[in-house]
Structure 1
Amino acid sequence: MKLNINQAINFGKNILIAQGVPVDIALDVSQHLVCSDQVGYTSHGLSILPTYHKVLSKGFLNPNGRPELINDQGTVLGFDGCRGFGQHIGKVVVQEAIENTRKHGQCTVTVRNAHHLGRMGFYGEMVSEAGMIFLAFTNVINREPTVAPYGGKEARMTTNPLCFSLPLSDQYPPLIVDMATSSMAINKARVLATKGMKTEYGSLIDASGNPTNDPNALFTDPPGALLPFGAHKGYALGLVAELLAGILTGGGTIQPKNPRRGAAMNNMFAIVIDPTKVDSNSKWIKDETNAYIEYLHSCPPQPGIDKVQYPGEFEAANRSRNKDFVEFEDSIWENINQLADKLGINTPN
């Protein structure tokens, strides 16, 4: 199924409104999801709406939730997400951090108790468009753990994503690093399972702790687990994200004394920096950045690789390719369409 961008946004918005979500929140969420589809991350796009429906119907997600400022120290802002849609909470919170950075040159911002924040690169792109640098650490609570620690047989962690973004010159799209500290995001595994596809070995283990390439192993009873990316290195970064996001926000960690009601909630610890306050020589910054990106691009590619890219070029290329339309595979579209039918929402023609 192929939809133009406005059709896709309105379709997602209407599905959310039909579930009692205010119009402005529904629009923020749908824009975020469609943007994920545009840049090539189907797992965080409109395909996730059936999962959100389940969480809404169980009362775990507050359709009216908006960020509440709980800590304001100028260069430090803290928010409670009030169990609201993370895509709305995150957009508002990051925009506040950008405004504070314009005043002070930097801002540390925390948010706790937000439902799934979505694709973290979206916020990195927001910050880059403002000419600033973004460093964010996120953990996942209120659900069962999904990631085994390095050497472990059972899950004790979650996907705990990292996001770093850096604006480049006008010649290049921003550098965007958006990655789970696990081998993959749980939603990506869910999409692969829906499509009947396999993962690479080394990405997950089954319930007995044995390596497998079947993503369905994550959804058995008892479940298997994702593995950290890069073995002990990804494990270490995931632990850093767990503690920074879980402790400094006041939102807590995945440790078993905290609630696990089955609905993923995010805490985020982030820093926004105005690079011109660190070095006021903007011409030198631009020239040096261009020189290094050109140096990377000049690297001869390995056999079977077209060219060397930096993080962010993949998203930019997909956004350009999908600037007018997004296309959904049949299995994914069927799930979205079934939800729309259930809610009485007309499918776009």
Structure 2
Amino acid sequence: MSALYRIDSVHLHQFVQAIWRHAGSTADEARLVADHLVAANLAGHDSHGVGMIPSYMTSLAQGHLQLNQRPEIVKDVGAVLTLNARNGFGQVAAYEAMEHGIARARNFGIAAVGLHHSHHIGRIGHWAEQCAQAGFVSFHFVNVEGDPMVAPFGGSDRRFGTNPFCAIFPRHGHKPLLLDFATSGIAFGKTRVAWNKGVEVTPGYLIDHQGNATTDPGVMQQPPYGSLLPFGLHKGYALATMCEILGGALSGGRTTHQATLQTSADAIFNCMTTIIVNPHAFDAPAMHQEAEAFIDWVKQSPQSGDEPIQVPGEWEEANRRARQEQGIPLDANSWQQICHAALQAGMSADELDAFRAQTSSS
């Protein structure tokens, strides 16, 4: 395994902002991208954190990612909005889409937002947390347009993306309940992290180019390419299919098929359909009491092992506490790739060395 760096989240946030400012982003865009990527690492989802920067830089160089774009409302029927992100940063497009949706849900009690032609929107839970901060429930269906990585149940080659699903429920006096997962057994980015660390992945998540089971993350990183598998056999595959249609087609975007296949693995484009609900629009005065009674009931189950019973979202919150205190861990390969991307963006060697001097390794 490669060496491990520990980087303070504030320092890392400053570094990410500086990279994108050098690349040509406005201050607001650089801040939103840094907000999202560092927050993903803090939550423990390194697959969607700052390790994405090299891929984004390649996408920019290839002309796929467009800097300083603002999503455009292409249809507005009150409680339902459709936005075109114009190939801009997903961290900007999704943030603004959620702001629009939150405003409409506050007015109507419910809102639906379709977002399409967005560069990678990253960790979907980030957008759900934005809704929960406003006091709203939300549901998110996402597809990865034209970038197949996952084999269908019963199939042996890649046919669709990792197609996340996400839902959130705000709680009084507690962090929200947050469900956020790829419909593949693991996210593609987790194979990148494992590849950079020089470790295998857990059995049952990958097949090679011949359809044989493997634990080698390299089948997703270099040709001949293998495939991820859906979680839960036919159930994960079925949910991925619905995310493809509801996220891709319903949002006004595109689904994955022969005519939409991307020419570059770094051209990651998402479509997302989001439903945002004001829970107080329902006739449910005991809603929060009932939710907490259920959570208490579940946690009273005798533990079957050493780990405590957790509800959705608690794993991420535990990671935030630990990483705020101990720093964000990055393997040496990922850190070197990010530093190289900083130089590609136009950062001077002296400025990069100043940032590097503030990291520690083990």
TM-score w.r.t. the length of structure 2 is 0.92
Offset of 1:94 from its aligned partner? 0.6
Could you say what secondary structure the match of 1:174 adopts?
A: strand
Q: Which residue of 1 aligns with 2:20?
A: 16
Q: Which residue of 1 aligns with 2:160?
A: 157
Q: Which residue of 1 aligns with 2:228?
A: 226
Offset of 1:69 from its aligned partner? 0.4
Offset of 1:323 from its aligned partner? 3.0
Offset of 1:331 from its aligned partner? 2.6
Q: What whole-Å deviation, never above 9, does each CA across 1:121-160 have from its counterpart, x for those lacking one? A: 10111111111111000001143x1100001011111100
- 8 Å CA contact 1:142–1:259 kept in 2: the answer is yes
Task: Choose the corresponding residue for 1:302, options 301, 304, 310.
Answer: 304
Q: Which residue of 2 aligns with 1:257?
A: 259
- 8 Å CA contact 2:152–2:229 kept in 1: the answer is yes
Offset of 1:329 from its aligned partner? 2.7
Q: Which residue of 2 aligns with 1:81?
A: 85
Q: Which residue of 2 aligns with 1:332?
A: 334
CA distance in 2, matches of 1:191, 1:274: 37
Offset of 1:16 from its aligned partner? 1.0
Q: Which residue of 2 aligns with 1:285?
A: 287
- 8 Å CA contact 1:75–1:106 kept in 2: the answer is yes
- Asked if 1:323 is matched to 2:324, the reply is yes
Q: What whole-Å deviation, never above 9, does each CA across 1:234-261 have from its counterpart, x for those lacking one? A: 0000000001111112211101122423
Alignment of 1:152-301 (within 5 A): 152-170=155-173, 172-262=174-264, 263-281=267-285, 284-301=286-303
Structure 2 segments unaligned to the other structure (5+ residues): none
CA distance in 1, matches of 2:158, 2:122: 22
Runs of 4 or more consecutive aligned structure 1 residues displaced over 4 Å after TM superposition = none
Q: What whole-Å deviation, never above 9, does each CA across 1:210-247 have from its counterpart, x for those lacking one? A: 00000101233231000000010000000000011111
Q: What whole-Å deviation, never above 9, does each CA across 1:170-202 have from its counterpart, x for those lacking one? A: 1x2111111000111111111111111111121
Q: Which amino acid aligns with 1:237?
A: L
Aligned length, in residue pairs: 344
- 8 Å CA contact 2:95–2:127 kept in 1: the answer is yes
Task: Choose the corresponding residue for 1:72, options 56, 71, 76.
Answer: 76
Q: Which residue of 2 aligns with 1:111?
A: 115
Identity %: 35
Could you say what secondary structure the match of 2:175 adopts?
A: coil
Structure 1 segments unaligned to the other structure (5+ residues): none
Q: Which amino acid aligns with 1:150?
A: F
Could you say what secondary structure the match of 1:155 adopts?
A: coil
Q: Which residue of 1 aligns with 2:315?
A: 314
Could you say what secondary structure the match of 2:276 adopts?
A: strand
Q: What whole-Å deviation, never above 9, does each CA across 1:252-298 have from its counterpart, x for those lacking one? A: 110112242321100001100011001251xx122111111111111
- 8 Å CA contact 2:146–2:160 kept in 1: the answer is no
- Asked if 1:90 is matched to 2:94, the reply is yes
CA distance in 2, matches of 1:77, 1:166: 22
Task: Choose the corresponding residue for 1:25, options 26, 29, 36.
Answer: 29
- 8 Å CA contact 1:133–1:273 kept in 2: the answer is yes
CA distance in 1, matches of 2:146, 2:17: 26
Q: Which amino acid aligns with 2:177?
A: L
- 8 Å CA contact 2:168–2:177 kept in 1: the answer is yes
CA distance in 1, matches of 2:261, 2:231: 27
TM-score w.r.t. the length of structure 1 is 0.95
Could you say what secondary structure the match of 2:186 adopts?
A: coil
CA distance in 1, matches of 2:186, 2:338: 23
CA distance in 2, matches of 1:200, 1:122: 26
Could you say what secondary structure the match of 1:74 adopts?
A: coil
CA distance in 2, matches of 1:344, 1:25: 17
- 8 Å CA contact 1:169–1:290 kept in 2: the answer is no
Could you say what secondary structure the match of 1:217 adopts?
A: helix
Q: Which amino acid aligns with 1:337?
A: C
- Structure 1 pair 142–20 and aligned structure 2 pair: CA distance change class (3 A): farther
Q: Which amino acid aligns with 2:272?
A: M
RMSD value over aligned CA atoms? Answer: 1.4
Q: Which amino acid aligns with 1:309?
A: Q
CA distance in 1, matches of 2:48, 2:221: 18
- 8 Å CA contact 1:81–1:111 kept in 2: the answer is yes
